[in-house]
């Protein structure tokens, strides 16, 4: 079975080029869910499972700041 990691890494890079939240949503859609923590939100875009790890893209959203996108992984339980 081919690895999805390369495609997922490319998706993170594409999302990192978005300068605003509006641009991110227009190009990649609404997140699966959002975690609120005061002025900071973490948006979750699930990717899938690969080699016993669950992958997702997390986007840090803070008013007035550029969005920050990164890949997150955690062991599958």
Higher pLDDT, 65 or 16: 16
pTM of the model: 0.87
Q: Which helix (H) or strand (E) holds 72?
A: strand 68-75
Say how far residue 66 (Cα) sits from the centre of its chain.
14
- Domain residues for 43? 5-75
pLDDT tens per residue, range 16-42: 999 888 999 999 999 999 999 888 999
For residue 61, the tally of other CB atoms under 10 A from its CB is 19
C-alpha to C-alpha distance for 11 and 9, rounded to whole angstroms: 5
- The domain that holds 54 is classified in CATH as 3.30.1450
Say how many domains are in the chain: 1
Do 38 and 2 form a contact (C-beta atoms < 8 A)? Answer: no
């Amino acid at each position: 079975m081919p690895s999805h990691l390369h495609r997922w890494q490319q998706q993170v890079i594409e999302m990192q080029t978005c300068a605003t939240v509006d641009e991110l949503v227009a190009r990649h859609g609404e997140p699966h869910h959002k975690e609120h923590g005061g002025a900071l939100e973490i948006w979750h875009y699930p990717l899938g499972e690969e080699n016993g790890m669950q992958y997702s893209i997390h986007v840090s959203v803070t008013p007035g700041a550029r969005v920050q996108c990164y890949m997150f992984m955690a062991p599958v339980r």
